[in-house]
Structure formats: structure tokens, C-alpha cells
């Protein structure tokens, strides 16, 4: 009896032990499963938030297209308004198709100097975000570079020749220099033993495109304006420059406000993430630096124009705001608020003297000042990042290495854009002729090039 009772107690304890182990084991497994599911859910939510932020930023950058259209139309004469609007629509329409088909593959294809072409293939590059969304985000930046040139060659260029240029910047000029930088090419290659690391100990930095987008468009614009020649009546027999006022500064002002608004997608959106605390801090800082640079650029251009010409110029103030925005775009993630205000103010000042130099000394007619705002200020904004970056900047004890990398990258990309602009526009001029006949230029491109006018009496 005692033996049976002892065996019974042993069996009872054993069953209880097995039950406890089984119960807690199942719950532990369930806990592990719940933790895994929770981690997956958090990752999905983070990816979803980052994707929405990227696409929202892309929408804002796309909205810069009507901003450019209004600025260019307002700064030029009413008889060419339909022509300018048509060019802006074509820049985005043709640019989107061509960048998807050709440009994206070259920009993000494998290779150090030139990306391997991958036609119609967006699966070649994994950014950690949906590939289709990343293509759209990159497309709106390409279209921005393309449309910068429109205003510089306005009022005297054949529409067909402009389309040829637009095709080439979206398939060759922008994707190649874009591959050197954002595409993982040699200017931003931080691997040990790479050219930039061996030469400077650091890489070129352009967060949102002062050089990659704006300088590329600005230097191509300068080449196009020089080769197509000045508008009739711009320079007199004494070779002195004569003002040709735009027809609607209200339109131009609205365009600048739209561009300013769109820049909050252009710069903060380049963070490409918004899910973590560090992302939120980075986006907020970029918003602040972007806005301060725009305000400082506008304020300084107003003051300098008042001193230089005796009156505060609205048109120069508008371009000063854009100059500040262009200048801060490279280093908006690296500089302090004070540095951002200084960069914007410096670029707003430089812009005024650049406009005067290009117009009066080089005798190049740029109706909207695109080459000064985007080319010159994009270049100097990139250089100023090497001075004001809070970690590697020269003024913050970082030495001259980062400044050297910034100067080298800006010079290389600018030279590429300028040389290719000269080759393309000169080639088109020799083969087909860039310029419309003088009668069409004098009477306006709207009727002769498009058969319609933006303003009907």
C-alpha cells in the first residue's frame, strides 16, 4: 500500500511538472511569436510612414513645376507665354518617360564612373523603399534640372530644338553626373582605397542637389543662352545692355512662393525617412535651415539692390530668395541655423553681382537669371557647406579636407554640365539652327510656334 501510494505521489508530481513546463513553454512560444509579429508590424509601419513621406515630398517637388512656369512667364514678355508654358509641360512629360526608360538605369546602374544602362528596369537599385516610389521621387528631381534651362533660352529658341535638348539632359547629362554622386559613383564612394578617400579623406556631399540638380541645370542654361545669342534689342550698337522687362511680376511672385513651398519637399524630403526620432529631428532641422536661407537670401538681395541701384528691386529680391534656397540645398542637413542664414545671405548677394557680370561683361542674355541663381549659387552653396558644416566644416575646426572635396566635386560636375551644354547646343545650332527667324522673334513665338496665344484680346 505504501509502495502504491509512493508511486502515486511520484506520478502526480511528474504530471504536474509536465503540465507546468508545457503551460509555460506554450506561453513562452506564444510570447516569442507575439514579439516577432510585433517587430514585423513595427517594421511595416515604419516602411509605410517612410514611403508616404517620400511620395509626399515627391508631390511637393512636382508642384515646383508650375512655380518655374510662372516665374519664367512673368519675367518674360506676354507674346511668348504659351511657348514657355508648353516647354515646362514637355520637360516633365518627356523627362518622366525618358528618365524611366533610360536615365534611371544609367544613374543607378552598377559602375564607378558610368552606370551600366538598364533600359526600362527599375529593379537594379534597392533603396529600402518601394522601387516605383523611389523612381517617382528621383524623376521629379531630374525634371527640375531640365526645366531650369527653359527661362535662360526663352523668347528666341525653336521649340523643336528645345525638345531635343530636354531629351538629352534627361538621358545623358543629369544621369551621368547623378551616378557619380547619388548613384554611388566615384565622387561619393567612401570605401577604403577609393579616389575621394585617398585624395581628401572624405567624400563629396550634396544632400538635396545644389550641384547635382541646380548647378547642372544652371550651367547648361548658361551654355544655351550664350550659343543661341541675345534677344533682339537686348544690346545696343554701343554694346550696352538694355532692360527688357517681364510682363507680369505678380505672376513671377506667385511662382516664387510656389517654389519656396515646394522646396520643403525638395530638401526635407531627401531624408527619405520619417519614422524614427533621428529622422524627425533631421527633417525638422532641414525645414528650419531651408527657410532661414530663403529669408536671408531675399533680405540681402533687397538690401544690396537698394544700395547698388538706388531702389529695392522686386525682381532681384525674388531671385534672391531662390538663390538662398539653391545655396542651402547642398548642406541643409549639416549646417546650424546661423550657418544657414549666412549661406542664404551670401548667395543672395552673389546672385546680384553674377547677374550683372553675365549680362554686362559676358554679354549673355539670360532673361530670368537662371544661370546666376542655379549655376553660380548652386556652386557657391556647395562650397559654403565645406565652411559651415558643423562637424567637418573649416570654420568648425574640421580642417580643409571637406572643403577640398566640396570644391573638387562642384568643379567636376559643373564642368561636365557646361561642356555637355556647349556640345549639345552648338551641335543642334550647326545641324538644325537653334534660333527662330527675326520676324517670329519680334512678333512672338506663341502664334508662329504653337498657333495660339496665352492672352486673347
pLDDT digits over 189-199, tens only? 999 999 999 99
pLDDT at position 9 is: 56
pLDDT at position 114 is: 80
Tell me if 197 sits within 8 A of 125, measured CB to CB. no
pLDDT at position 22 is: 47
Mean pLDDT of the chain: 91
Tell me if 370 sits within 8 A of 377, measured CB to CB. no
Q: State pLDDT tens for residues 200-224.
A: 999 999 999 999 999 999 999 999 9
* pLDDT surpasses 50 at 242: yes
* pLDDT surpasses 80 at 2: no
* pLDDT surpasses 70 at 181: yes
Q: Which residues pair with 235 in a beta bridge?
A: 241
The Cα 343–Cα 67 span in angstroms is: 23
The Cα 73–Cα 87 span in angstroms is: 11
Instruction: Give 426: exposed, middle or buried? Use CB within 10 Å, 0-12, 13-18, 19+.
Output: middle
Q: State pLDDT tens for residues 259-282.
A: 999 999 999 999 999 989 999 999
Q: What are phi and psi of 369, to 5 degrees?
A: 75, 25
The Cα 217–Cα 153 span in angstroms is: 12
Q: State pLDDT tens for residues 309-345.
A: 999 999 999 999 999 999 999 999 999 999 999 999 9
Structure-model confidence comparison of residues 346 and 28, the more confident one: 346
* pLDDT surpasses 90 at 125: no
The Cα 89–Cα 335 span in angstroms is: 35
* pLDDT surpasses 90 at 4: no
The Cα 383–Cα 287 span in angstroms is: 21
* pLDDT surpasses 50 at 58: yes
pLDDT at position 127 is: 83
367-386 average pLDDT score? 97
The Cα 48–Cα 51 span in angstroms is: 5
81-93 average pLDDT score? 96
In the Cβ-directed half-sphere of 406, how many Cα atoms lie within 13 Å? Answer: 27
Return the closest-CA partner of residue 172 out of 201, 146, 198.
Answer: 146
153-166 average pLDDT score? 95
Tell me if 401 sits within 8 A of 200, measured CB to CB. yes
94-119 average pLDDT score? 89
pLDDT at position 330 is: 97
pLDDT at position 6 is: 52
74-85 average pLDDT score? 96
How confident is residue 368, by pLDDT bands cut at 50, 70 and 90? very high
pLDDT at position 40 is: 79
* pLDDT surpasses 90 at 112: no
Sign of CA dihedral 107, 108, 114, 118: negative
pLDDT at position 26 is: 44
* pLDDT surpasses 50 at 20: no
* CB burial readout 86-96, b (16+ within 10 A) else e: bbbebbbebbb
Least trusted range by pLDDT, from 108-112, 164-168, 217-221: 108-112
364-377 average pLDDT score? 97
Please write down the HEC assignment for all residues of the chain. Answer: CHHHHHHHHHHHHHHHHHHHHHHHHHHHHHHHHHHHHHHHHHHHHHHHHHHHHHHHHHHHHHCHHHHHHHHHHHCCCHHHHHHHHHHHHHHHHHHHHHHHHHHHHHHHCCCCCCCCCCCCCCCCCCCCCCHHHHHHHHHHHHHHHHHHHHHHCCCCECHHHHHHHHHHHHHHHHHHHHHHCCCCCHHHCCCCCCHHHHHCCCCCCCCCCHHHHHHHHHHHHHHHHHHHCCCCCCECCCCCECCCCCCCHHHHHHHHHHHHHHHHHHCHHHHCCCCCHHHHHHHHHHHHHHHHHHHHHHHHHHHHHHHHHCCCCHHHHHHHHHHHHHHHCCCCCCECHHHHHHHHHHHHHHHHHHHHHHHHHCCCCCCCCHHHHHHHHHHHHHHHHHHHECCCCHHHCCCCHHHHHHHHHHHHHHHHHHHHHHHHHHHHHHHCCCECCHHHHHHCHHHHHHCCCCCCC
CA 185, 163, 55: angle at the middle one, nearest 5? 55
pLDDT at position 224 is: 97
Amino acid at each position: 500500500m505504501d509502495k502504491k501510494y509512493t508511486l502515486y505521489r511520484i506520478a502526480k508530481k511528474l504530471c504536474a511538472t509536465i503540465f507546468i513546463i508545457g503551460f509555460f513553454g506554450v506561453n513562452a512560444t506564444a510570447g516569442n511569436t507575439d514579439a516577432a509579429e510585433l517587430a514585423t508590424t513595427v517594421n511595416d509601419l515604419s516602411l509605410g510612414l517612410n514611403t508616404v513621406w517620400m511620395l509626399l515630398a515627391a508631390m511637393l517637388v512636382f508642384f515646383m513645376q508650375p512655380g518655374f512656369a510662372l516665374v519664367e512667364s512673368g519675367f518674360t514678355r506676354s507674346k511668348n507665354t504659351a511657348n514657355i508654358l508648353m516647354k515646362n509641360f514637355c520637360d516633365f512629360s518627356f523627362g518622366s518617360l525618358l528618365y524611366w526608360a533610360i536615365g534611371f538605369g544609367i544613374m543607378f546602374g552598377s559602375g564607378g564612373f558610368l552606370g551600366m544602362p538598364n533600359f526600362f528596369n527599375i529593379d537594379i537599385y534597392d533603396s529600402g523603399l518601394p522601387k516605383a516610389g523611389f523612381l517617382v521621387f528621383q524623376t521629379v528631381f531630374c525634371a527640375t534640372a531640365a526645366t531650369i534651362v527653359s527661362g535662360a533660352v526663352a523668347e528666341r529658341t525653336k521649340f523643336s530644338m528645345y525638345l531635343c535638348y530636354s531629351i538629352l539632359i534627361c538621358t545623358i547629362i543629369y544621369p551621368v553626373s547623378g551616378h557619380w554622386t547619388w548613384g554611388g559613383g566615384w565622387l561619393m564612394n567612401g570605401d577604403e582605397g577609393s579616389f575621394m578617400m585617398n585624395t581628401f579623406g572624405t567624400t563629396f556631399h550634396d544632400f538635396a542637389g545644389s550641384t547635382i540638380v541646380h548647378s547642372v541645370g544652371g550651367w547648361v542654361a548658361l551654355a544655351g543662352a550664350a550659343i543661341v545669342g541675345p534677344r533682339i534689342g537686348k544690346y545696343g550698337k554701343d554694346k550696352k545692355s538694355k532692360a527688357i522687362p517681364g510682363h507680369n511680376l505678380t505672376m513671377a511672385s506667385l511662382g516664387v512662393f510656389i517654389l519656396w513651398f515646394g522646396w520643403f519637399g525638395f530638401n526635407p524630403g531627401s531624408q527619405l525617412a520619417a519614422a524614427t526620432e533621428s529622422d524627425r529631428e533631421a527633417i525638422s532641422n532641414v525645414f528650419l535651415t531651408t527657410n532661414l536661407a530663403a529669408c536671408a537670401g531675399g533680405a540681402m538681395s533687397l538690401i544690396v539692390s537698394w544700395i547698388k541701384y538706388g531702389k529695392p528691386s522686386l525682381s532681384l529680391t525674388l531671385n534672391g530668395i531662390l538663390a538662398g534656397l539653391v545655396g542651402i540645398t547642398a548642406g541643409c542637413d549639416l549646417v546650424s541655423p546661423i550657418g544657414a542664414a549666412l549661406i542664404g545671405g551670401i548667395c543672395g548677394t552673389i546672385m546680384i553681382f553674377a547677374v550683372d557680370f553675365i549680362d554686362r561683361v559676358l554679354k549673355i542674355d539670360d532673361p530670368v537669371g537662371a544661370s546666376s541663381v542655379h549655376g553660380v549659387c548652386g556652386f557657391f552653396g556647395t562650397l559654403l557647406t565645406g565652411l559651415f558644416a558643423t562637424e567637418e566644416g573649416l570654420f568648425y575646426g574640421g580642417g580643409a579636407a571637406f572643403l577640398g572635396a566640396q570644391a573638387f566635386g562642384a568643379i567636376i560636375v559643373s564642368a561636365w554640365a557646361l561642356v555637355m551644354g556647349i556640345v549639345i547646343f552648338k551641335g543642334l545650332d550647326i545641324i538644325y539652327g537653334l534660333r527662330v527667324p527675326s520676324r517670329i522673334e519680334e512678333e512672338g513665338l506663341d502664334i508662329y510656334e504653337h498657333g495660339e496665344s496665352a492672352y486673347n484680346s
